Amino acid sequence: MLYQKKFQKVIQQAANSTTVTWDESDAGFQKFLLDELKKNHLLPLLNYWLEQNVLTQTCPSSVKQALKLEVARETFLIDIRKHALIKLGLEFKKNNIPFLVLKGAALSYTIYPRPGLRAHGDIDLFISEKNRQLAFQVFKSLGYRQENMTYGQQAGHQCAFSKLEHHGYNLVFDLHWKLSNINYFANLISFDEAYSAAQDLPEHNGVIKVMNDHHALLYAFIHGVAHHHDEENPLWLYDTHLLTDKKNSIWLTDFQNLAKEKKVWFLCAKGMEKTKEWFNTIWPETFLQEIISAKPNSDEADSIVFLSPKRSLLSDFVCDLESLSLPNKLKYLQERLIPPKEYMKKKYNIKSNIYLPALYIWRAIYGLRKLKGKP
Query: Helix or strand or coil: residue 130?
Result: helix
Q: Is the pLDDT at 273 greater than 70, yes or no?
A: yes
Mean pLDDT of 286-307: 85
Give the pLDDT confidence of 33-91 residue by residue, as tens digits: 999 999 999 999 999 998 887 666 578 888 888 988 988 888 888 889 999 999 999 99
Mark residue 151 as left, alpha or beta (left: phi above 0; alpha: psi -120 to 50; beta: remaining).
beta
Average pLDDT over residues 88-115: 95
Residues 242, 14: Cα–Cα separation, whole Å: 15
pLDDT band at 268 (very low <50, low <70, confident <90, very high): very high
Backbone angles phi, psi at 198, to 5 degrees: -70, 165
162 and 145 in contact (C-beta within 8 Å)?
yes
What average pLDDT does the segment 17-22 reach?
86
| Residue 308 confidence class, pLDDT cut points 50, 70, 90 | confident
Q: Between the CA of residue 230 and those of 11, 167, 183, 237, 311, what are the distances in Å?
A: 19, 36, 17, 11, 11
CA distance 72 to 218: 32
Is the Cα dihedral 320, 322, 323, 325 positive or negative? positive
d(CA 167, CA 79): 13
Q: Could you tell me which residues come within 8 angstroms of residue 291 by beta carbon, excluding any fewer than 6 positions away?
A: 269, 272, 273, 276, 283
How do residues 167-194 score in pLDDT, each as one tens digit? 788 999 999 999 999 888 999 999 999 9
pLDDT of 359? 92
* Cα separation, 78 vs 94, whole angstroms: 24
Q: Is the pLDDT of residue 372 over 80?
A: no
Task: Answer whether residue 2 shows pLDDT above 90.
Answer: no
Of 136, 137, 134, 160, the C-alpha closest to 149 is: 160
Contacts of 318 (CB under 8 A, 6+ apart): none
Give yes or no for residue 32 having a pLDDT over 80.
yes
C-alpha to C-alpha distances, 10 to 75, 119, 279, nearest whole angstrom: 24, 19, 11
Bigger pLDDT: 63 vs 92:
92
Q: What is the pLDDT of residue 226?
A: 81
Range picked from 206-210, 236-240, 300-304 for highest mean pLDDT: 236-240
- What mean pLDDT is predicted for residues 259-287? 94
Paired sense of beta strands 145-146 and 123-127, if any = unpaired
Average pLDDT taken over every residue of the chain: 90
Query: pLDDT tier at 26 (50, 70, 90 boundaries)?
Result: confident
Task: Give me the percent of the chain exceeding a pLDDT of 90.
Answer: 62
Give, in order, the Cα–Cα distances in Å from 69 to each of 65, 74, 76, 173.
6, 9, 11, 24
Least confident of 18-32, 260-274, 277-291: 18-32
Q: Please check whether residue 218 is in contact with residue 255, taking contact to mean a CB–CB distance below 8 angstroms.
A: yes
Work out the number of other CB atoms within 10 angstroms of the CB of residue 65.
11
Rounded Cα–Cα distance for residues 296 and 7 (Å):
31
Q: How far apart are CA 256 and CA 258, in angstroms?
A: 5
| Residue 80: closest CA among 39, 37, 40, 116 | 116
Number of H helices and E strands in the chain, helices first, is: 17, 7
159-167: average pLDDT:
91
- Among 169, 139, 144, which Cα is nearest to 77's? 169
CA-CA distances (angstroms) from residue 163 to 125, 131, 140, 217, 239?
16, 21, 10, 30, 28
Q: What pLDDT was estimated at residue 322?
A: 85
* DSSP per-residue letters across 309-372: TT--HHHHHHHHHHTS-HHHHHHHHHHHHS--HHHHHHHTT---GGGHHHHHHHHHHHHHHHTT
Q: Write the CB contacts of 30 (distance below 8 Å, at least 6 apart in sequence).
A: 22, 23, 24, 60, 62, 63
| Residues 213-230 pLDDT 10s | 999 999 999 998 887 776
Q: Regarding beta strands 123-127 and 170-176, do their DSSP bridges make them parallel or antiparallel, or are they unpaired? A: parallel
**Share above pLDDT 70 across residues of the chain, in percent, rounded to a whole number:** 97
